[in-house]
């Protein structure tokens, strides 16, 4: 398993509009006005609001939400950057295009994706392509006979759930990530984590993958149940093993991510059948057991942050 901290904080460019106007220090805003500032949408909660910089604890502004532009890198799996006819700056692009510096990035993990095809192109400092990675998925069509199941042509799926790319280091270069539209003529990226991989052991079989309901269920005095729906979150419980001599190194690596939201990749195989057991979340517990001088086993409990 590897863990990856987010290093990408901003882009060189992205073909998504801001939806709301940029905050202007000389403009007067009234109650209910929404603006874009520093990755977020803010809503004015007073009239005659002028010259007051929006930030989370400013009593004149309410932090409304992460903007559509930056939802894919905000470290919450429940938010998404969506490209469609309403959000596109260039409708002829046929998908979401994000460009950013390549320095310090050797790994890109992308999840909760709705796209027919995702490509990553690494370019040198002169803008020349160095390498391109491509991800498409195919599925068998619905078949009512064994013959059709085995011999019908594969069809491209409209959704790619999660995947990762190892990226060659290119000093002063750029990386372009493009997610093409699917059958709904839109493209969506739930999260994109860019950084460097940190190995914390080899994942063993027997991984538990859970889905947790975050909805709020209220029962009144008459037994009537009211449900406030919330997005479900996922969890992973897995065991890893590593050479016992690496125990302190692994413990330090885990300590450095405790209390932080990072990307977990439980299955690093290129042909993973389990969407790489990828999860954007936090460590709930880490329990190593040094069973012998050669190999150590450790249990991880990880929960998704939505």
Mean pLDDT along residues 195-201:
96
Determine, yes or no, domain membership for 5: no
Span 128-184, pLDDT tens digits: 999 998 887 544 445 555 445 444 444 444 445 788 999 998 999 999 999 999 889
Which residues lie closer than 8 Å to 98 by C-beta, 6 or more apart? 11, 13, 14, 72, 176, 177, 178, 192
At CA 220, angle to CA 219 and CA 225, rounded to 5? 40
Say if residue 37 is in the same domain as residue 124.
no
Say if residue 300 is in the same domain as residue 239.
yes
Domain that holds residue 46: 20-67
CATH number where 32 lies: 2.10.10
Mean pLDDT along residues 209-227:
91
Span 78-124, pLDDT tens digits: 899 999 999 999 999 999 999 999 999 999 999 999 998 999 999 99
So what's the pLDDT on residue 162?
A: 86
Mean pLDDT along residues 262-285:
89
Determine, yes or no, domain membership for 184: yes
pLDDT above 70 (res 304): yes
Determine, yes or no, domain membership for 3: no
- Total domains in the chain come to 3
Mean pLDDT along residues 190-213:
94
Say if residue 190 is in the same domain as residue 234.
no
So what's the pLDDT on residue 53?
A: 97
Say if residue 78 is in the same domain as residue 138.
yes
So what's the pLDDT on residue 63?
A: 96
Q: Which of 176, 197, 218 is the last residue of a domain?
A: 197
When mean pLDDT is compared across 157-166, 186-195, 208-217, the lowest value belongs to 157-166
Mean pLDDT along residues 22-49:
97
Say if residue 80 is in the same domain as residue 186.
yes
Say if residue 81 is in the same domain as residue 139.
yes
Say if residue 158 is in the same domain as residue 221.
no
pLDDT class for 273, splitting at 50, 70, 90? confident
* pTM greater than 0.85: yes
Say if residue 174 is in the same domain as residue 137.
yes
Determine, yes or no, domain membership for 179: yes
Q: Which of 175, 197, 219 is the last residue of a domain?
A: 197
Say if residue 63 is in the same domain as residue 77.
no
So what's the pLDDT on residue 163?
A: 87
pLDDT above 90 (res 30): yes
Say if residue 288 is in the same domain as residue 251.
yes
So what's the pLDDT on residue 140?
A: 44
Determine, yes or no, domain membership for 56: yes
Determine, yes or no, domain membership for 2: no
CATH number where 166 lies: 2.60.120.260
Say if residue 156 is in the same domain as residue 214.
no
Which residues lie closer than 8 Å to 244 by C-beta, 6 or more apart? 290, 292, 293, 294, 295, 296
So what's the pLDDT on residue 155?
A: 47
Q: Which of 180, 197, 214 is the last residue of a domain?
A: 197
Say if residue 189 is in the same domain as residue 177.
yes
Place of tokens 């539209």: 181
Whole-number average pLDDT of the chain: 90
Mean pLDDT along residues 288-292:
90
């Amino acid at each position: 398993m590897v863990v990856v901290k987010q290093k990408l904080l901003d882009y060189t460019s992205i073909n998504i509009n801001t939806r709301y106007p940029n905050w202007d220090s000389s403009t007067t805003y009234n109650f209910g006005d929404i603006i874009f500032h520093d990755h977020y949408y803010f809503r004015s909660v007073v009239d005659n609001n002028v010259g007051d910089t929006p930030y989370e604890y400013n009593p004149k502004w309410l932090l409304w939400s992460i903007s559509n532009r930056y939802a894919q890198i905000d470290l919450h799996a429940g938010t998404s950057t969506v490209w469609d006819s309403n959000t596109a700056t260039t409708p002829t692009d046929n998908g979401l295009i994000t460009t950013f510096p390549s320095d310090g990035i050797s790994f890109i993990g992308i999840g909760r994706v709705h796209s027919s095809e995702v490509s990553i192109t690494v370019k040198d400092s002169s803008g020349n392509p160095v390498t391109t990675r491509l991800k498409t998925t195919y599925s068998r069509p619905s078949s009512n006979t064994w013959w059709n199941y085995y011999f019908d042509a594969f069809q491209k799926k409209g959704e790619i759930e999660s995947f990762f790319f190892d990226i060659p280091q290119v000093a002063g270069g750029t990386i372009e990530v493009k997610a093409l539209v699917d059958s709904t003529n839109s493209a969506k990226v739930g999260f994109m984590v860019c950084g460097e991989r940190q190995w914390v052991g080899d994942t063993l079989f027997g991984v538990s993958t859970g889905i947790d309901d975050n909805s709020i269920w209220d029962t009144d005095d008459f037994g009537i149940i009211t449900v406030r729906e919330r997005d479900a979150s996922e969890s992973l419980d897995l065991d890893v093993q590593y050479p016992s001599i690496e125990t302190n190194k692994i413990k330090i690596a885990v300590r450095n991510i405790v209390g932080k939201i990072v990307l977990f990749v439980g299955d690093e195989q290129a042909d993973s059948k389990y969407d790489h057991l990828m999860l954007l979340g936090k460590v709930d517990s880490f329990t190593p057991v040094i069973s012998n001088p050669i190999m150590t086993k450790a249990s991880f409990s990880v929960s998704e942050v939505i």
